[in-house]
Amino acid sequence: MTNKPSNNQNPIEGSSTGPSTDSKSQVDIKKINIPEIVTVKELSHLMAIESIELIKNLMRNGFMLSINDVIERDIAVLLAKHFGFEVLPLAKQSTGTKSQYEKGDGPNLNNRPPVIAILGHVDHGKTTLLDSIRKTNVVSNEAGGITQHIGAYQIKHNENPITFIDTPGHAAFTQMRARGANITDIVILVVAADDGIMPQTIEAINHIKAANVPMIVAINKIDSPTADSDRVKRQLSENNILIEEWGGEIISCEVSALKGEGLNDLLENILLLSEILELKSDINKNAQGVIIEASLDKNSGPSTTLLVQNGTLMLGDFIYTKKSTGKIKSIVNDVGEKLTQAEPSLPVKILGLDSVPEAGSIFQTTKNSKSLKQELSETSISSNQAKTIQLENLRANSDSQEVTSLNIILKTDFQGTIQPLVASIENLGNDEQRLNVIHASSGGISENDILLASTSNAIVFGFNVFTQPSAQKLAAKEVIKIRDHTIIYELLDDIKSLLDDLAEPIKEDIVAGIATVKATFSYGKNAKIAGIIVNEGTIKRGNTIHLMRNNQLLHKGPMRSLRHFKDDVKELNSGFEGGLVLEAFQDIKEGDIIEAHSLETK
């Protein structure tokens, strides 16, 4: 279960498995430099700690990251402090030791093109807008045209590349976000000037807010006789979207996708916003990114469209996703040109995977088969451990130990039911228990609702509505709970009960196992193996270790590894011998007593 930090406690520093103040005073604190951008794997190398231990610690504190994910520097600093390191500030790095991104022989951070998705209500001109933008950038005699239909394409505006993802709508957008694929940098919200905001517009707005992605509003169809841009702007403000013209921060552009009017202004604003966002990538790394589309071709086998997000994809690279592996045999861009490599933000179609991967899944590349096997092993471990139940995810998102929050998606039978029901739900909350109705609409529960719930850690409530079979299937896959009710007070009681359940249960520190140190062995430069025999109970990898000497507590902290002979094991039972390595502590002697502690819910 995820431990929640108190108000004055950072999530990782407050972990029950962290080293005590006493233990820190007894070991030399090492100083390290952590760059502005660092992956979990790179951080593990910096600290000489196994990446799986970092992943487990992050997971215990609500951060579901895999070995190749970029970790926010603030979290990386907390994690380093948790393991007994002192982190030098970035200012010191610039005047003294440089981070790996500043070294001449290290990776180079470069500007990369923005990746754009276009969302909005059906028939408001999303497809026409995409086509118009493309046509202004495609020369009539260009080889291949856009006939590749790879699901994405890249255009140039004043020699500046911009990538557009041609998704079928906010469902696909949210599905990728739900799988952890933060594929888009900016979202264009298309609203027709003659229609104004419609139900799918509101749904798209809620999906964009849940994804926390910058937005530009494109008011389309300004050439229509019934166009009313002011009405659209007023409706946007009613939905908490305040454009710059009205004193807000959201950029808006008036366009006619059909006639090509206003497109230059829209593209200029995309480039302006991307410049503000300072989009960077490292082309010297192995490639990583997202699968956009995939299909099985009867002649060439699995055909995969992917977007490179970091690094450089090259012919001959070994590539792997959660379910597929292979060696890249062919790279083709959106106009049919054969390439030898693809840099960040470039969508390409490749051949070489052994099976069809899932759209929205993450891919990685490596240069040789040996590295591929190692990466697959580490990815498998982190992936298996990342599966958590929804209620625990909700706990992880609470702001503090005193404040719990519950995100809700509400579907009702009639539009008129929404407002009073939302008001009743919000009245259940207070300063310590927050209720966030992130989306409410009438109609049956659909796949879109489940996808939004998955990406925002919400629970779906239905009042007198039908759940589509496809939504039920997706909910089971994404571990999303659907709660149906036909009586209002029962729905409200259910929400109140769930909110109370989010409160952190009382935990008790117990001694799960006791062992005696029989011998010690040096292990590398910075570690010592304690040869132990378990006298009582069971010692497990996730336990907090208390090292006792002469009935005095000498050290308290996590273990780095646990072995039985040469095998890594998850636990050692009573009567078994094994080897144990502690994190950031080496003063272990024969005769010391090992106490393995765990927190158990009362």
Q: Residue 116 has which token pair?
A: 């754009």
Question: What's residue 33's pLDDT?
Answer: 86
What tens digit of pLDDT does each residue of 439-489 get? 888 888 988 888 888 877 889 999 989 999 989 998 888 888 899 998 888
The range of the structural domain enclosing residue 324 comes to: 288-378
Do residues 295 and 207 both lie within one domain?
Answer: no
Do residues 153 and 261 both lie within one domain?
Answer: yes
Number of domains in the chain: 5
Question: What's residue 22's pLDDT?
Answer: 41
Q: Which of 294-298, 299-303, 502-506, 595-599 is modeled with the greatest confidence? A: 595-599
Do residues 149 and 220 both lie within one domain?
Answer: yes
User: Which is more confidently placed, 241 or 139?
Assistant: 241
Lowest mean pLDDT among 78-87, 122-131, 520-529: 520-529
Question: What's residue 565's pLDDT?
Answer: 82
What tens digit of pLDDT does each residue of 413-436 get? 876 678 778 888 888 877 777 888
Strand (E) or helix (H) holding 454: helix 447-456
Question: What's residue 169's pLDDT?
Answer: 55
99 to 108, 144, 490: CA distances (angstroms):
11, 44, 57
Q: Residue 343 has which token pair?
A: 């840099």
Do residues 513 and 588 both lie within one domain?
Answer: yes
Do residues 36 and 119 both lie within one domain?
Answer: no
Question: What is the 8-class DSSP label of residue 197?
Answer: S
Q: Can you tell me the distance from the alpha carbon of 450 to that of 476, in angstroms, rounded to the nearest whole number?
A: 10
The mean predicted confidence, pLDDT, of the chain is 78
The counts of H helices and E strands in the chain are 16, 33
Q: Give the mean model confidence (pLDDT) for residues 378-387.
A: 42
Q: Can you tell me the distance from the alpha carbon of 547 to that of 69, in angstroms, rounded to the nearest whole number?
A: 34
Q: Give the mean model confidence (pLDDT) for residues 98-120.
A: 64
Q: Give the mean model confidence (pLDDT) for residues 7-25.
A: 41
**Per-residue pLDDT at 25 exceeds 50:** no
Question: What's residue 404's pLDDT?
Answer: 65
Residue at 155 is within a domain = yes
Residue 569: band (very low, low, confident or very high) from pLDDT cuts 50, 70, 90: confident
Query: Checking phi first, is residue 211 left (phi over 0); if not, alpha (psi -120 to 50) or beta?
Result: alpha
Do residues 515 and 470 both lie within one domain?
Answer: no
What tens digit of pLDDT does each residue of 189-219 get? 999 999 999 888 888 888 888 777 899 999 9
Question: What's residue 7's pLDDT?
Answer: 38
Q: Can you tell me the distance from the alpha carbon of 442 to that of 340, in angstroms, rounded to the nearest whole number?
A: 50
The CATH number of residue 481's host domain is 3.40.50.10050
Question: What's residue 100's pLDDT?
Answer: 31
Q: Tell me whether strands 593-601 and 507-523 are parallel, antiparallel or unpaired.
A: antiparallel
Q: Can you tell me the distance from the alpha carbon of 18 to that of 354, in angstroms, rounded to the nearest whole number?
A: 43
**Per-residue pLDDT at 101 exceeds 50:** no
Question: What's residue 370's pLDDT?
Answer: 60
Give me the residues paired with residue 595 across strands. Answer: 514, 546
Give 28's contacts (C-beta < 8 A, 6+ positions apart): none
Q: Can you tell me the distance from the alpha carbon of 12 to that of 551, in angstroms, rounded to the nearest whole number?
A: 29
Q: Residue 498 has which token pair?
A: 């769930």
Do residues 149 and 190 both lie within one domain?
Answer: yes
Do residues 498 and 511 both lie within one domain?
Answer: no
Question: What's residue 1's pLDDT?
Answer: 34
The CATH number of residue 324's host domain is 2.40.30.10
Residue at 59 is within a domain = yes
Question: What's residue 593's pLDDT?
Answer: 93
Residue 74, classified by CB atoms within 10 Å of its CB into exposed (0-12), middle (13-18) or buried (19+), is: exposed
Residue at 92 is within a domain = no
